[in-house]
Structure 1
Amino acid sequence: MTDTILKIDGLVKHFGGLVATDHAHLDVKAGSVHALIGPNGAGKTTLIHQMSGALRSDAGRIVFNGTDVTTVPMHLRAQAGLVRSYQITSIFRKFSVLDNLALAVQARSGSSMRIWSPASAERARFDESAALAARVGLAGREYTLAGSLSHGEQRQLELGIALATRPKLLLLDEPMAGMGPDESARMVELLLELRQESTLLLVEHDMDAVFKLADTISVLVFGKVIASGNADAIRNNPDVKRAYLGDEVDAH
């Protein structure tokens, strides 16, 4: 676990007079779970947008899997294996679980349901989709409309859709957002399993989940990465404590 799969160097993003990311630096090791944390408004989602290509950076450089992708469009980054999920669940609510996953598999493979195409090709697509449903804990729910799923199940489905692209690096923006304790625990277990096949970078406010999942934690404050390290290093870092608790740290 020594190779760097994603390197960001001096990323900057302005929105008018607001500096959302301020010369941010980050290295993500292949095969790791890397968490990005920080107070509200620190610029975490903006930085994820820049990594994925949803936002063009004003300055800086992004290298993914040895290739400079700073100006590469989002869909080409996804094809190369740099894939993301969103804070707000993004699924086809009126389609079944299986159809949502099959569309994602189809998008990756470039296949289409032409009337004269071999039936075996479509069977393979739906077999893969059913396997993905089982992979994310939705076995037995394949024919349920996505909009009828619980919030936690919808997040699991969205994760399955991302996995259908066969990512090398999966960017997860608050995967536990809005979940209850049981749903969060299931998602943590699922992400621990997924680390065997993909590198994960997650933005998350659930610190219990972060400490269970992450090999490395980076802390973003006012658009700058102020610290990176393992859980113990981050817990004991005075700059991190100050960023979250303010002057209370110095008073004690």
Structure 2
Amino acid sequence: MSNITRNFILTAFLYLLIGVTLGALLTINGMREILISSAPGIFLAHSHINIFGFIFMVIFGVNYHYIPIFSNRLMYSEKWANYHLYMMIVGVIGMAIGLAILNRAGIVISAIFETAGAYLFMFNIIKTFTQKPQIDKEPLKDERYIESDKIAVKFTRVSTPYLILGTTLTVFISLMPDGYIRFRPVIYHTYFLGWIAMMVFGVGYHILPRFADNKIYSLFLIRLNLKLANIGVAGFVFSWLLGIFFGSAFLSNLRHSFGILAASALFIFVYNIWRSVFRRKI
């Protein structure tokens, strides 16, 4: 494990400790009243610490470890990755404080730090993918996984734009008086359906069959999974986003149809992984 991955994961677990401790304090009646009276947005801060501080930092760290392995390329810039870490530390702490005390300036500035870190991550990953593969170092290849790994990398690639969209929207809504209320559901779905789910699909298809020493049950289902996820998630997010922005109930309601496609992709993933892992070795 590289120092970059280790630092991201260690930082993530520190945020988890803070988030869990804060959550425990909020379950105590007297303490909850004290915290809310001194920090009205403490529940928002608690959510942000757990999601951005823990979940996102773990995913960033795992990406910095696995993407070079997936692509058989060296990480483009460890310096950029370290800058990304520092930006996320400042951004998450600042955002948690800004949300807790409902300070608009603190929220905006912290959102800019988090967004800048996300953009730096994206550029670093793109530059990594566009480098020439290592000639003197063959990846751990198995004939059973060559085709499925190619598709798994595509999931990883398409996940990154959703991270950028989510963080950019975070800055955008922080500048609007009612932005958080109006756009919060869209942003959450952008992160969880677009970035995290796509990343889970890619990493899952790469790792889980290897754990069982089996090949992927169906390459057709992986390709179908990728297509349905792309169409479903993009349609879901953008129809909802544009519907809210233009005040169009028709556009907003289109998300239900796209949501069915996105849900179908999830069921296909679960079925394909289940059949890949829990069957006789081939």
In the superposition, the TM-score normalised over structure 1's length comes to 0.24
Larger radius of gyration: 2
Of structures 1 and 2, the one scoring higher in RCO (CA 8 A, sep 6+) is 1
Bigger share in helix: 2
In the superposition, the TM-score normalised over structure 2's length comes to 0.22
